[in-house]
Amino acid sequence: MTDPVILALTAGEPGGIGPELCLQLAVRPREAGLVVVASKQLLEARARLLGLPVALHDWAPGQEPTFSAGALSVLDVPGCASVDAGRLDPANSAYVLRTLETAANGCLNGAFDGMVTAPVHKGVINEAGIEFSGHTEFLQDLCGVERVVMMLATDDLRVALVTTHLPLKDVSAAITPERLSQVARILDTDLKAFFAIEQPRILVAGLNPHAGEGGHLGREELDTIEPTLEHLRTEGLNLIGPLPADTLFTPHWLDQADAVLAMYHDQGLPVLKYQGFGRAVNVTLGLPIVRTSVDHGTALDLAGTGNADAGSLHTAIRVGAQMARCRKTVNRGPNS
Ligand SMILES: NC(=O)C1=CN([C@@H]2O[C@H](COP(=O)(O)OP(=O)(O)OC[C@H]3O[C@@H](n4cnc5c(N)ncnc54)[C@H](O)[C@@H]3O)[C@@H](O)[C@H]2O)C=CC1
Ligand SMILES: NCC(=O)COP(=O)(O)O
């Protein structure tokens, strides 16, 4: 029998669809232990609004979470200022970040085997005067690591990013040999460790149209990307590129690849979301903890309607549980 894993599930932005997606999980029994890390008052209010008969059980570290249909284990994080569906309130921001800290610290101290995150609203957290660009960067800082990698994946496509939440005007300067090397190595290592790919084949996109057209449409490929890939190949990484991004996402290239490394957020993610929005997972690679997330945002337009699709959350939990089992097996060692 496989070891049960316990995943923390943060409910995200209180005004968004995160709280109700968490409640929807109670409809059926689950294969991984789940503890929703959120305000119990918020979950009760959303369950009442939607007429969902969910029993919320208080959970404390060391206890086994409930696996029963109709029930959810909850680690209560108090301090949610307002619980209205569809409405943002900067006064909720400190609470939202406390849910992330509680889950991540629980992973670091062994109470949880991994964390899954429902979406937060980056804008409203900033409006509260707190600098925040995303879970990815927040968890990188909290865990004290120099570099992590955002990768979104469906069953058929994996897209990782060299830069994440940066204004477009800052992207070129951020693509340094150091960053590109760190990202490629993390991607290669974690595809082997968590996705059982022996020798990952990674397609690397150029930054400029036509991958720079030999320097006539930009020099980043010639000056930075090509020499860095060449060096990484001497370390054994199987990197193909830099390829023109407009034709990289075609069967000719994708059929022979395990992942795509895109230079920036909107170079890679629109393709991934066109291919599998609602079924994809967002994974943070390179952390000392397991973290997965949904592929969508807070969808304020759907909050409180009960019409939000939980498909991506199911994928995030499934992949998070697989990764957590993998990490447990490695930590346990071959002879235990
Ligand atoms: N992991 C995270 O915390 C993420 C957070 N966000 C944040 O979400 C906020 C809103 O972002 P948007 O660009 O508007 O993207 P969004 O994903 O919230 O919404 C885009 C469209 O997809 C629909 N949609 C989203 N999730 C759905 C679901 N589960 N079922 C059915 N339809 C769904 C929405 O109704 C909307 O029409 C932003 O503040 C952004 O930063 C965005 C992506 C990921
Ligand atoms: N588009 C993906 C996204 O914005 C998710 O960011 P994060 O909150 O997981 O860092």
**13 shares a domain with 135:** yes
Q: Which atom of ligand 1 is nearest to the CA of 313?
A: 29
Can you tell me the distance from the alpha carbon of 119 to that of 24, in angstroms, rounded to the nearest whole number? 15
Residue 304 Cβ contacting ligand 2 at under 6 Å: no
Q: Which atom of ligand 1 is nearest to the CA of 293?
A: 1
pLDDT mean over 43-66: 96
Domain of 170 in residue numbering reads as 148-286
Q: Is the pLDDT of residue 260 over 90?
A: yes
Is 136 labelled a binding residue?
Answer: yes
Is the previous residue joined to 227 through a cis bond, with omega within 30 degrees of 0?
A: no
Residue 293 Cβ contacting ligand 2 at under 6 Å: yes
Is 252 labelled a binding residue?
Answer: no
**107 shares a domain with 18:** yes
Is 57 labelled a binding residue?
Answer: no
Can you tell me the distance from the alpha carbon of 306 to that of 47, in angstroms, rounded to the nearest whole number? 10
**103 shares a domain with 51:** yes
Question: In the listed set 286, 302, 320, which residue is the last one of a domain according to the structure?
Answer: 286
**Beta-ladder partners of 203:** 240, 260
User: What is Dmax (Cα atoms) for the chain?
Assistant: 63
**227 shares a domain with 205:** yes
CATH of the domain at 194: 3.40.718.10
Protein residue with its CA nearest to atom 12 in ligand 1: 297
**305 shares a domain with 282:** no
Residue 53 near residue 9 (C-beta atoms within 8 A): no
Into how many domains does the chain fold? 2
Among candidate residues 63, 85, 86, the one with its CA nearest the CA of residue 73? 63
**328 shares a domain with 221:** no
Which residue from 99, 164, 296, 300 has its CB within 8 A of the most atoms of ligand 1, so it is best to mutate?
A: 296
Question: In the listed set 268, 286, 304, which residue is the last one of a domain according to the structure?
Answer: 286
Residue 75 near residue 42 (C-beta atoms within 8 A): no
Can you tell me the distance from the alpha carbon of 301 to that of 143, in angstroms, rounded to the nearest whole number? 33
Can you tell me the distance from the alpha carbon of 191 to that of 251, in angstroms, rounded to the nearest whole number? 21
**153 shares a domain with 293:** no
**314 shares a domain with 260:** no
Is 291 labelled a binding residue?
Answer: yes
Buried b (16+ CB within 10 A) or exposed e, 180-208: bbbbbbbbbebbeebbebeebebbbbbbb
Structure confidence by residue, pLDDT tens digits, 133-162: 999 999 999 999 999 999 999 999 999 999
**229 shares a domain with 132:** no
Phi-psi category of residue 28: left, alpha or beta, with phi > 0 → left and psi -120 to 50 → alpha: beta
Cα(51) to ligand 2 centroid in Å equals 30
So what's the pLDDT on residue 299?
A: 98
Residue 164, helix vs strand vs coil:
coil
**61 shares a domain with 107:** yes
Can you tell me the distance from the alpha carbon of 130 to that of 78, in angstroms, rounded to the nearest whole number? 19
Residue written as token pair 């660009």: 133
**252 shares a domain with 267:** yes
Residue 208 Cβ contacting ligand 2 at under 6 Å: no
**176 shares a domain with 234:** yes
ipTM score of complex: 0.98
Can you tell me the distance from the alpha carbon of 98 to that of 12, in angstroms, rounded to the nearest whole number? 10
Structure confidence by residue, pLDDT tens digits, 96-133: 999 999 999 999 999 999 999 999 999 999 999 999 99
Cα(231) to ligand 1 centroid in Å equals 38
So what's the pLDDT on residue 4?
A: 86
